[in-house]
Structure 1
Amino acid sequence: MNACISIVYYTSKTLSNGEHPLMLRISKDGKKKYNSIGVSVHPQFWDFTKNQPKRSCPNRDAILRLITEKTKQYQEQLIEFKAENKEFTATTLVEKLTNPTKPKTVGELFTEQIERFKTAKRTGYALSILQVYNSLIKYNKHLNIYFSDIDVTWLKKYEQWLRSTGFAENTIGIRLRTLRAIYNIALEQKIVKPDYYPFKSYKVSKLHSVTAKRAMTKDNVTAVINYDYTNKSFYTELAVDLFTFSYFMGGINFVDMAYITHAHIIDNRLIYTRTKTHKLINLPLQPKAIELIEKYRTKERPYIPDSFYVP
């Protein structure tokens, strides 16, 4: 059933000055919803036959324009619902217009996502988004823009700017894939309409080049583990120990190392849930890993090793 939108002189409510409010009535599926347009009129100035202000009504032209504007807003929203084949009620139609979703700028959504991934302890991904955020600030000077402003031409200019700053092909691809991921979040949150989506025409897949494999040899790994950091800085020693701990404990990454505690050691095994994949990891503790755990153990903090938190 189609919705019907009409203006009503709401006599069921009388204001202290004797006037009655003008309401929009939305009727659908046998149910009605009323919403005030913010104007009231005294009965002596209302033409009940024509359902409009009399010619003698003060501010008549302004009231008629307001009625037309408000009715148009509801009709346009009604058309949008139909175009999207979206089910709605009289109540949801009113709520859509009276409590609209506050639009977010590109900068606001970026900072929101950075904080979200930090809270989820996905530090690496948060940092990658932050890198793109800073890059876009340098390029555009600000991000107080809406996602509808980012079109194919804008993306091509950004790509050209990245090339001019000396970034490699794969790095440019990473920047733009991250931007595309944030744009997809904007679509999911209905911050921008799908009609504006520029990545249908602008293909990020073209920004890829094959690189030579750079895996470390066993000799390289041994050289790092056996590196003599005597008289070197604390951070040099820590870097070697982090690498060593990761190597002997199945390649555990830095984020997981930063959050595991002594409570994760059960029956001489390290058992933890990987932050990125949420997969349960269960590994036997190697003698060298145990040596490093004891090296950094303190009573004040439970983390392994505690020196991750040394300023």
Structure 2
Amino acid sequence: MDAIISVICYKSKTLANGEHPLMLRIAQNGKSTYKSLKISVAAKHWDFDKNVPKPNNPHKDLIQKIILKTKLDYQQRILEKKANKEEFTASSLINEQKEITKTQTVEEFYLFIIEELKQKGQIGTSYAYLNSYNTLRNFNKGKKLNYTFSHIDVSFCKKYEDWMRSKGNKDTTLSYQFRTLRAAYNRAIDAKIVCREKNPFIEYKLSHLNTKTMKRALSKADILKIINADCNGQSNLRKLTHDIFTFSYLCGGISFVDIANLTPNNIIENRLIYQRQKTHGSINLVLSEQAKQIIYQYSDYQQEAEYLFPILHCKRHITPMQKSNRVHKICHQVNTELRVFAQELGITAEVTTYVARHSFATILKKSGVNIGIISQALGHQDIKTTQIYLSKFDNEQVDEAMKNLL
């Protein structure tokens, strides 16, 4: 049975001012559920037969406007439920509507998320939301995001995409920004700040963005140029840059943030055992002699700072924010030095610490190592993630394979 929506003057209850409250009534299957409209009317100003304010009611126009808006709101919700083939009752409609009446702007909610993540020590994730927030502010011409999440619809997303493209951003950047915005929107839905039905990402799919990255792996010859380079007598930064890149390549493509957080406790019986900062997955790899030699060079620092590499220090970097800021700073310095280092060695490709991780995976693949083993060494939860790291076969490899046809 369809729900019947009406607004009545609830004469059974008399308020302190002598008036009666106006109530929304939703009747379904012989049962009625009520919700106060937070306004009241004197009995002499209400037509109880027609359920409307009398012409002599001094607030007639305002009351009629509130009644019309309330009834339309609930009728719309019923139509949406039916269209989506969702079950509902009179009680669920009213309780659901109560939850959704929380009003919070996109500005307020983003700042809340960022602060909450910082308090939980999830600094990297908080930076992702801060980046998204700042980009949205720029799109909004520097103004605060003083609109609700329902304002972010498919049209908004298309305009946002066009604006980012006009700034020269590629699909990979667009995908990153929209994935963060989508995550924020989902958080808003969970917080009952916006209706799930209004989610623009039901229609605006991110799959239309081309997120295939350019090849980031070096050839084995270029890798060996870096590893075999003699950095004795050069700056401490150059030495650290060489050691970090080499150690990452030799130790399963370990990421910079994971290297920074290694302590002597991660070395057990000539094996490197640690938990990834990003996914919290466990890694257990044998240490090569060259990797052990790199660690040994920093033994004095390890006794003082309680970390394997001179990036973090137990007495100076204590809070999650201090650690994150320090790692970010040193990673930037190392990557800047690594680019100069690579150019000096005649390597034309763009080289960063992350390239060591991609190179580790790609060179093992070309050597015939099973992708499942590579995936485990990288600490990936899914082989599909590993496949993103691995470049497509070179034309030469395909040409060579074609010779086997006849």
TM-score (norm 2): 0.59
Map 1:195-206; keep pairs closer than 5 Å.
199=204, 203-205=208-210
**How many equivalent residue pairs?**
299
Structure 1 position 22, deviation (Å): 0.9
1:173-231 CA-to-partner distances (Å, cap 9, x unmatched) read 211222332354356454583567774599323x86x8567514346435445432525
2-11 vs 196-205, greater mean Cα deviation:
196-205
In structure 1, distance between residues paired with 2:207 and 2:286 = 48
- Name the amino acid aligned to 2:84: E
Aligned partner of residue 24 in structure 1, secondary structure: strand
Partner residue of 2:224? 221
Structure 1 position 112, deviation (Å): 4.1
Relative contact order (alpha carbons < 8 A, sep ≥ 6): 1 or 2 greater?
Answer: 2
- Contact 1:53 1:60 (8 Å CA) reproduced: yes
Summarize the Cα distance change of 1:93–1:270 in structure 2 as closer, same or farther, 3 Å threshold: same
211-220 vs 46-55, greater mean Cα deviation:
211-220
In structure 2, distance between residues paired with 1:33 and 1:250 = 62
- Contact 1:114 1:127 (8 Å CA) reproduced: no
- Name the amino acid aligned to 1:19: E
Identity of aligned residues (%): 31
Partner residue of 1:172? 170
- Contact 1:47 1:53 (8 Å CA) reproduced: yes
Q: Can you give the 5+ residue segments of structure 1 that lack an aligned partner in the other structure? A: 163-170
- Name the amino acid aligned to 2:2: N
Q: Please identify which structure carries the higher helix content.
A: 2
- Contact 2:9 2:20 (8 Å CA) reproduced: yes
Summarize the Cα distance change of 1:299–1:3 in structure 2 as closer, same or farther, 3 Å threshold: farther
Partner residue of 1:161? 167
Partner residue of 1:32? 32
- Contact 1:6 1:71 (8 Å CA) reproduced: yes
1:63-98 CA-to-partner distances (Å, cap 9, x unmatched) read 222222222222222222222222333333223333
In structure 1, distance between residues paired with 2:96 and 2:226 = 64
Partner residue of 1:82? 82
1:43-80 CA-to-partner distances (Å, cap 9, x unmatched) read 23333222333333332232222222222222222222
- Contact 1:122 1:275 (8 Å CA) reproduced: no
In structure 1, distance between residues paired with 2:135 and 2:58 = 56
Partner residue of 1:7? 7
- Contact 1:152 1:198 (8 Å CA) reproduced: no
Partner residue of 2:264? 262
- Name the amino acid aligned to 1:46: W
Structure 1 position 21, deviation (Å): 0.8
Aligned partner of residue 167 in structure 2, secondary structure: helix
In structure 1, distance between residues paired with 2:38 and 2:119 = 44
Summarize the Cα distance change of 1:27–1:230 in structure 2 as closer, same or farther, 3 Å threshold: farther
In structure 1, distance between residues paired with 2:66 and 2:108 = 34
Summarize the Cα distance change of 1:281–1:13 in structure 2 as closer, same or farther, 3 Å threshold: same
In structure 1, distance between residues paired with 2:109 and 2:240 = 36
- Contact 1:22 1:40 (8 Å CA) reproduced: yes
Partner residue of 2:291? 289
Summarize the Cα distance change of 1:131–1:224 in structure 2 as closer, same or farther, 3 Å threshold: farther
Summarize the Cα distance change of 1:139–1:2 in structure 2 as closer, same or farther, 3 Å threshold: closer
Summarize the Cα distance change of 1:147–1:215 in structure 2 as closer, same or farther, 3 Å threshold: same
Partner residue of 1:51? 51
Partner residue of 2:337? none
In structure 1, distance between residues paired with 2:33 and 2:232 = 76
In structure 2, distance between residues paired with 1:200 and 1:82 = 24
What's the Cα RMSD here? 4.0
In structure 2, distance between residues paired with 1:243 and 1:108 = 40
In structure 1, distance between residues paired with 2:69 and 2:103 = 21
- Name the amino acid aligned to 1:150: F
- Contact 1:227 1:240 (8 Å CA) reproduced: no
- Name the amino acid aligned to 1:215: L
In structure 2, distance between residues paired with 1:17 and 1:212 = 75
- Name the amino acid aligned to 1:203: H
- Name the amino acid aligned to 1:147: I
In structure 1, distance between residues paired with 2:11 and 2:61 = 22
In structure 2, distance between residues paired with 1:262 and 1:29 = 69
Summarize the Cα distance change of 1:129–1:270 in structure 2 as closer, same or farther, 3 Å threshold: same
TM-score (norm 1): 0.75
Aligned partner of residue 99 in structure 1, secondary structure: helix
User: Is 1:230 aligned to 2:233, yes or no?
Assistant: yes
Aligned partner of residue 259 in structure 2, secondary structure: helix
